[in-house]
């Protein structure tokens, strides 16, 4: 049994994947310097991994982290690499990271989407990184059967922090515009502004007032992942027309619960959902909020009034996940990488 040293399992998809590694391998937590415990959260240190030699590891598999150790390693990334976003590319640490990525111990650069790989390909090749080490391996998603749906209501769900960035205000306006008494809107979010999109104070005030006045709307704060899944299984539709996201895993998780999805064409989402098959994909770049609201409302009305379409789109998720986002597909690809690296 060979051992994979991982840097962390902070997200559910990481727990799912690293708890079910390829056959013949097991994952252990690699012991690296715990910067977060001393309050240091700069991305340069968090994403630079020096593992202490306190347990046997055959190969390291990090998420965004460049490994300093002289041992085989694989890095998985969803956005950019090296993940030193605020650092000038000519800075010594940035150049060191590029040399490590091009070096003999870095065995593979695993991108979670074609979008992420194309975003990085040119500057990594220019730094001497062999494109043969780069490939796309999608995340795996756990699947759940629908459970607890109420046939008397139509429940729309949005989940994830960054409510405004993820098109939450447009969804709210569309929901109110439809005005259907049988509709329910569930919002799983802290409602805080995170990055990339800062709403105006008047918009935040309008959102808070609209939610408070409508008894059909329920806001849940942060909750355990299993509770998010419970709400997904009981919903009829998942909406997340995000303006900015490299991957947006909640859309994939909603698909894993058999939900039709309305999402945007941002980042990797065109590789995740399929327009007109398991839902609809909206173009958001260059469009007004009002225009997006109208399209969200139209699509929600269409699904609410056509139960057969809703059922067909929900069922279409199975084939999409089986072909691209299953644990079997992911592990088969990772196994080839690990075996080649350890030959």
pLDDT digits (tens, 9 = 90+) for 303-315: 999 999 999 999 9
The stretch 225-240 carries a mean pLDDT of 97
CA-based Rg of the chain, rounded to a whole angstrom? 21
Q: Using CA atoms of 298, 301, 307, 312 in order, give the dihedral in degrees to the nearest 10.
A: 20
Q: What pLDDT, in 10s, does the model give residues 24-36?
A: 999 999 988 777 6
pLDDT at 289 over 90: yes
CA angle 79, 84, 85 (to 5 degrees): 65
Measured distance CA(82)–CA(78) in Å, rounded: 11
- In CATH terms, are 2-140+326-341 and 154-323 the same topology? yes
State the distance between the two ends of the chain, measured CA to CA, in whole angstroms: 15
Helix locations, the chain, DSSP H? 12-18, 43-46, 92-102, 114-126, 168-178, 201-213, 225-234, 249-256, 269-272, 289-305, 307-315, 317-320, 327-341
Two tokens at 82? 């090296």
Choices 1.10.10, 2.60.40, 3.40.50, 3.30.1370: CATH for 2-140+326-341: 3.40.50
Could you report the per-residue pLDDT of 121-146, keeping only the tens digit for each?
Answer: 999 999 999 999 999 999 999 999 99
Q: What is the pLDDT of residue 103?
A: 97
Domain spans, the chain: 2-140+326-341, 154-323
Structure tokens at 43: 């991305």
- Residue 36: both structure tokens together: 């977060």
According to CATH, the topology of domain 154-323 is Rossmann fold (3.40.50)
pLDDT at 36: 67
Answer whether the bond into residue 82 is a cis peptide, omega within 30°: yes
* pLDDT at residue 105 is higher than 80: yes
Q: In terms of pLDDT, which residue wins out, 57 or 53?
A: 57
């Amino acid at each position: 049994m060979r051992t994979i040293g991982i840097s962390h399992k902070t997200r559910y998809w990481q727990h799912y994947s690293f708890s079910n590694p390829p056959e013949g391998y097991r994952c252990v937590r690699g012991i690296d310097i715990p910067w977060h415990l001393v309050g240091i959260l700069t991305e340069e240190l968090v994403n630079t991994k020096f593992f202490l030699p306190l347990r046997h590891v055959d190969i390291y598999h990090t998420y965004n982290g460049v490994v300093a150790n002289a041992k085989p390693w694989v890095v998985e990334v969803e956005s950019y690499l090296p993940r030193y976003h605020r650092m000038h590319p000519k800075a010594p640490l940035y150049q060191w990271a590029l040399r490590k990525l091009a070096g003999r111990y870095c065995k593979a650069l695993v991108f979670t989407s074609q979008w992420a790989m194309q975003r990085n390909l040119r500057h990594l090749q220019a730094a001497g990184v062999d494109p043969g080490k780069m490939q796309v391996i999608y995340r795996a998603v756990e699947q759940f059967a629908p459970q607890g749906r109420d046939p008397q209501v139509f429940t729309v769900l949005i989940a994830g922090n960054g409510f405004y960035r993820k098109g939450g205000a447009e969804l709210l306006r569309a929901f109110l515009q439809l005005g259907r008494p049988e509709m329910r809107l569930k919002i799983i979010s802290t409602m805080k502004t995170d990055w990339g999109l800062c709403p105006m104070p008047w918009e935040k005030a309008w959102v808070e007032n609209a939610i408070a006045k409508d008894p059909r709307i329920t806001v849940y704060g942060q909750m355990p992942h299993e509770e998010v899944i419970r709400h997904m299984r009981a919903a009829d539709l998942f909406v997340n027309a995000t303006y900015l996201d490299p991957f947006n895993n909640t859309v994939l998780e909603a698909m894993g619960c058999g939900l039709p999805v309305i999402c945007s064409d941002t980042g990797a989402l065109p590789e995740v959902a399929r327009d007109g098959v398991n839902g609809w994909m909206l173009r958001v770049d260059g469009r007004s909020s009002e225009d997006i609201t109208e399209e969200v409302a139209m699509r929600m009305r269409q699904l609410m009034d056509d139960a057969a379409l809703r059922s067909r789109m929900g069922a279409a998720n199975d084939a999409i996940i089986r072909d691209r986002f299953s644990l079997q597909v992911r592990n088969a690809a990772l196994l080839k990488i690990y075996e080649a690296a350890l030959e």
